[in-house]
Amino acid sequence: MSSSDYLPDYPLNSDLVKRLKSALDARDQGTVQDLICTEVRPVDAVIELANDDWMKDPAARLPPGVLLGLWTLEYKRELTTPLCIAAAHGHTACVRHLLGRGAAPDASPGGRGALHEACLGGHTACARLLLRHRADPDLLSAEGLAPLHLCRTAASLGCAQALLEHGASVQLAGGPGQDTPLHVAAQRGLDEHARLYLGRGARVDARNRRGETALSTACGAARRPDEHARCLRLCALLLRRGAAADARDEDERSPLHKACGHARPGLARLLLRHGADAGALDYGGASPLARALQTVACVPEPAPRRTVQALLNHGSPRVWPDAFPKVLRTCAPAPTVIEVLFNSYSQLHVSESWRELIPEEIFQMHEPFYQSLLALAHTPRCLQHLCRCAIRKSFGKKCFYLVPLLPLPKSLQNYLLLEPEGVLH
């Protein structure tokens, strides 16, 4: 039954709903509990908290996409029950009171049951109460999501543990993307959730509708810098448990493509150490190196440079020489990226016309480097650089591992690994 088929016991314009919404907006938890525990009748009454029926106000401005299917318009309402409200706000005593009065734990007029709401809020005590009253641990919401799919925050770990203890399926795929709980944990960077699911038998390389594994999902999720360490731990865990480092999605993108597309050097190095192919091409013909170079315009240094450096030190094919001017135009604001890439060639023809590719303000800001680059239009590379290229060619894909083993000063090891110096020789 869809939300439009329900007749609410307490419609949007009722006095109780007005007072309830006011209390919710004011975060007045005492009043919320009092209303749903003492005034609502019956115990499983359907409460309407919102309604976007545009026909009630034809003059209302509609969202841009709402008229795309004029004859298939369907308004949506936010319908709920006292038990769902209590669970969503973590009111354990209220949940216990309502269940004691016979509230149905799986009632879901709004598309989500009380257990879904408890998991979304990370309210473990409420989740355990509902499960003890026989709430279905695999109940699907209107979107096809089980409660485990809604364990999306670190605070929901206790909810996930309770669900699994009561028989929830760790393999269940759900929602439009057909994600498993492990995919959800990976997308959110929840390493403890992932550890829990893997310990309960989750398939590490299960695929969602887009052909992504959990590792691929984790590498493709955009994250704040403070989340990177947690994501790195999660990906390391997945790889230790046997995740395929080169698993391709429906677009033939590997986890390495996605890590490089977000300029994540630590993650790129982790994948490369586990055998990821630095030269893999997606359906669009892009390599991980190409994806890393595309981040220069939107990701601050040094992440793009370190990502490019990691790829080249693990044997990534370089940019075709004739395409280097295009890279120069795109990456000019990040001269260290240009330097690392340029130094991966033993000799690359430099044209004086390259000066026109560099915006004047960028040239002025990084004049010593760009002057040294353009000076190579009439000068061969130095012998030291040619020796570097010969050693790197001999080591091939193992540069990252073999160079640190050489009996050389750290400064020379860094030189061999393309550490930028600020000018070219």
Q: What is the pLDDT of residues 172-200, one digit of tens each?
A: 999 999 999 999 999 999 999 999 999 99
Distance of CA 409 to the CA centre of its chain: 40
What is the tens place of the pLDDT at every residue in 378-402? 899 999 999 999 999 999 999 999 9
Residue 191 and residue 79 share a domain:
no
What is the extent of the structural domain holding 24? 1-57+74-165
- On whether residue 311 sits in a domain, the answer given is no
Residue 145 and residue 78 share a domain:
yes
Residue 232 and residue 94 share a domain:
no
pLDDT-derived band at 241 (thresholds 50, 70, 90) equals very high
Residue 89 and residue 4 share a domain:
yes
- On whether residue 245 sits in a domain, the answer given is no
Contact 225, 265 (CB under 8 A): no
Residue 234 and residue 99 share a domain:
no
- On whether residue 47 sits in a domain, the answer given is yes
- On whether residue 26 sits in a domain, the answer given is yes
pLDDT-derived band at 71 (thresholds 50, 70, 90) equals very low
| Tokens found for residue 25 | 């907006």
Residue 187 and residue 128 share a domain:
no
Q: Which of 76-90, 244-258, 314-328 has the lowest mean pLDDT?
A: 76-90
| Tokens found for residue 252 | 């033939």
Residue 51 and residue 85 share a domain:
yes
Residue 196 and residue 99 share a domain:
no
- On whether residue 297 sits in a domain, the answer given is no
Residue 35 and residue 184 share a domain:
no
Return d(Cα 127, Cα 141) in angstroms, integer.
16
Q: Is the peptide bond before 63 cis (omega within 30 degrees of 0)?
A: no
- On whether residue 110 sits in a domain, the answer given is yes
Residue 108 and residue 192 share a domain:
no
Confidence (pTM): 0.89
Instruction: Give the strand pairing for 77-80 and 47-51.
Output: antiparallel
Please give the helix or strand (H or E) that residue 79 lies within, else none.
strand 77-80
Residue 150 and residue 5 share a domain:
yes
Residue 109 and residue 85 share a domain:
yes
How many domains does the chain contain in total? 2
User: Is the pLDDT reported for residue 65 higher than 70?
Assistant: no
Whole-number pLDDT of residue 5 = 59
Unique residue bearing structure tokens 């390493």 = 191
Q: Is 80 helix (H, G, I), strand (E, B) or coil?
A: strand
State which amino acid sits at residue 316: S
Partner residues linked to 179 by β-bridges: 174
- On whether residue 253 sits in a domain, the answer given is no
User: Is the pLDDT reported for residue 116 higher than 90?
Assistant: yes
What is the pLDDT averaged over residues 50-56? 59
What is the pLDDT averaged over residues 19-25? 91
Whole-number pLDDT of residue 292 = 97
CATH number at residue 16: 1.25.40.20
- On whether residue 296 sits in a domain, the answer given is no
Whole-number pLDDT of residue 2 = 52
What is the pLDDT averaged over residues 148-161? 98
Contact 270, 300 (CB under 8 A): no
Q: Is 316 helix (H, G, I), strand (E, B) or coil?
A: coil
Buried-exposed string 326-341: b where 16+ CB fall within 10 A, e elsewhere: ebbebbbbbbbbbbbb
